[in-house]
Structure 1
């Protein structure tokens, strides 16, 4: 009897502490801002605007999202998104970094070579201008690992505080099922109010695969520099969606997934005292690998912070990656509507067609890597 009472008392204490911590979060994270870069052209708004549709509005999976004419902005109404589906034009978001993690700027269309199933494609245009971010936050909020909740709140509140005024954010939480706390908005206060609804978790399930697959599908029609921020232990309990099915969705998605693994410090404490022996230790290793796979296949990154001081750097890295990415567009030479997966490879090439050589200000050659999604699934015939 004492153990449940003690656990409840600790949980209430955690919530109270987080409430006090939140009041100082804005000042803490505003001190560390992403590095400002001069964009080539800054759009005045994010993705195309319209009235009446948002990415979070529930829709049947068996039907395509409706395509309505763009509505004119109406005074007194909050901006929402209009979505466009173009099955012929393929877009690939590419992040180019050197070995130290610095972004390589000023690349032009001629520097990129795209191969689809090893067939060279003609790049029609490359967009590199800074634009507002569109981020769907998917947050595990369950009683399964209540000890991890501090990391959860650190990541959620801290990321919202790091957003710029023109960025869009939505908040989705999940345990046994997912729940939309907030549709896309630029209002940080509204986002924090949504996070404030996360008080006492009600269930001990973490159906990660169901929640993530649902959000991936919803985000496909969104435009702009979009991403999913997954804040999770990486553990799935009883999802109806299989792991391999989520991997396929992530692999073919145009939305990169940035994952923050929670509970690393708590796990380290338990490991040091011999409490993380099998099978518990293997469960968390598998969970970490799942988060890494979601991020890698979709063109994002996974982070596993052990210390509070690491969070601002993570937020800066995610923001900088989205703001410094190149978006490539091409029309596939494969016109078959067969529903098959098509593998994408992006390379940097020089005028001679060989691998592009990148040097620093001193003329020293830099090693670099490209991050992008692995491919996409071709459309099927319309019946």
Structure 2
């Protein structure tokens, strides 16, 4: 047996290894006596990892420490992730890192803009990161709630006004986004600026709300085997960024899908439960996309809030669903759910799918449906959006953008005066006029709804 003693190992690591060796071999040593130690392959790397760390201070524009910010530390080389939360002094500390890696630091906190710092090396020197308050997060809220940290470590608002949106079974609920010609969201319109037409007939607006309208959202995450490595880590960072931007009364559920669909977390307002669920996601198996959407629609029917949203992340086409596309299409049309889709594909698949044709190859069977077309179709049908970043691009800015849009949407309900019978699709047209903005203003909401067939 060839053995070597390395003085390059950190002292604490040498001591720990020697103690373990003593317990296993019964070797004894006294003062001044050193023992030859066998170094296993990779031991130096493991020890180096245990000593490396990143610490920092998070402050706002005035230089004051920010308590309760979520700090994600993403290993850009070994595809792993750790997270921490800032203490009362605004400080965080993450250890057990690799000296050989560079890290991306993502800082999120409700009421603040997200900050990302690239290519950070472990060091004993403390980082200082400034985050800025998001002025739009506090618009139309009186008084502005004061963020607080609960005993469970949750970042929530202490004084959010109590709010309940009640929608009768006869009413139609719309989530409406309004943008100007440059794509900037318009957030200061009133009820008088909106008109709602169903099947071309003007309808009275029964409820109009903006800001602080809680929602029920499903994070629908692809955990098929193709998501292994950096992709699942990027997905976890993005999902954590989304829930950190959630509002205190929002309810979040986490569903993972591969060849089977699993409700990892049912609806909850306890974000710590959702975070632990996100960390538990492990890739394996195939892709049952349609089954996953169907399960999400079903789960949202029992959600605590009537605003229903699905945030879907997938990297492949459907291969394993029992649900047919035509069935899930009707299911989405009959619901009031808004779907935001993120499709991330490896280069060969991206070239194959990005054309956006309904079928990426003949014959025209469900198995050959183009996933880019599918994600875009459901997003546009429901009033959401679809994003198709390149493989390796950070996903958390997209999730943060979705969270921000959801918090700035207008919520409208109306009661249809006619239905034209069951089983018909009824078109919805929301029109906006305002003298403050130059036309045209872009309005995004669901295209319509399918009357449920008789039971």
- TM-score computed with the length of structure 1 as normaliser: 0.70
Change (3 A) 1:270 1:113: closer
Structure with more relative contact order (C-alpha pairs < 8 Å, separation 6 or more): 1
Alignment of 1:211-226 (within 5 A): 211-222=292-303, 223-226=305-308
1:337 CA displacement: 4.9
Deviations for 1:60-118, whole angstroms, at most 9, x for unmatched residues? Answer: xxxxxxxxxxxxxxxxxxxxxx9977331111111101122211122222221111111
Alignment of 1:294 with 2:375, yes or no, is no
1:159 to 231, 239, 242: 242
Write the distance in 1 (CA, Å) between the matches of 2:389 and 2:368.
14
The structure carrying a bigger helix percent of its residues is 1
CA RMSD of aligned residues (A): 3.7
CA distance in 2, matches of 1:376, 1:290: 18
Asked if 1:35 is matched to 2:128, the reply is no
Instruction: Using the TM superposition, give the Cα deviation of residue 22 of structure 1 relative to its aligned residue in structure 2, in angstroms.
Output: 5.0
C-alpha distance in structure 1 between counterparts of 2:441 and 2:351, whole Å: 36
Deviation at 1:180, TM superposition (A): 0.8
Q: Shift of the alpha carbon at 1:318?
A: 0.7
Secondary structure, counterpart of 2:208 in structure 1: strand
Residue in 2 aligned with 1:244? 326
Q: Distance in 2 between matches of 1:17 and 1:291?
A: 30
What is the total number of aligned residue pairs between the two structures?
313
Describe how 1:296-335 pairs up with structure 2 within 5 A: 296-306=380-390, 310-334=394-418
Structure 1 residues 8-87: aligned runs within 5 Å: 17-21=78-82, 28-30=106-108, 32-33=113-114, 35-37=134-136, 38-41=138-141, 86-87=168-169
Mark the runs of 5 or more structure 1 residues left unpaired by the alignment.
Answer: 1-13, 46-81, 272-277, 350-355, 360-364
- SS of the equivalent of 2:207 reads strand
Deviations 1:312-365 (A, max 9, x none): 43123211211111111111111555232211111114xxxxxx4542xxxxx2
Aligned to 1:102: 184
How big is each residue's C-alpha offset from its partner over 1:208-261, in whole Å with a ceiling of 9 and x where there is no partner?
101102211331453254311101125101322221322233334211111111
User: 1:223-372 to 2 correspondence within 5 Å?
Assistant: 223-264=305-346, 286-306=370-390, 310-334=394-418, 337-349=421-433, 356-359=434-437, 365-372=438-445
CA distance in 1, matches of 2:347, 2:243: 22
In the alignment, structure 1 residue 208 sits paired with structure 2 residue 289:
yes
Summarize the Cα distance change of 1:241–1:299 in structure 2 as closer, same or farther, 3 Å threshold. same
Whether 2:119 is the aligned partner of 1:119: answer no
Output the CA distance in 1 between the equivalents of 2:76 and 2:318: 24
> Any conservation in 1 of the 2:174–2:446 contact (CA below 8 Å)?
yes
Q: Please say if 1:195 is aligned against 2:274.
A: no
User: Greater CA deviation, 118-127 or 32-41?
Assistant: 32-41
Larger strand percent: 2
Maintained 8 Å contact 1:98/1:367: yes
Given candidates 170, 190, 202, the residue that maps to 1:88 is 170
Find the counterpart in structure 2 of residue 51 from structure 1: none
> Which residue does the alignment assign to 2:221?
139
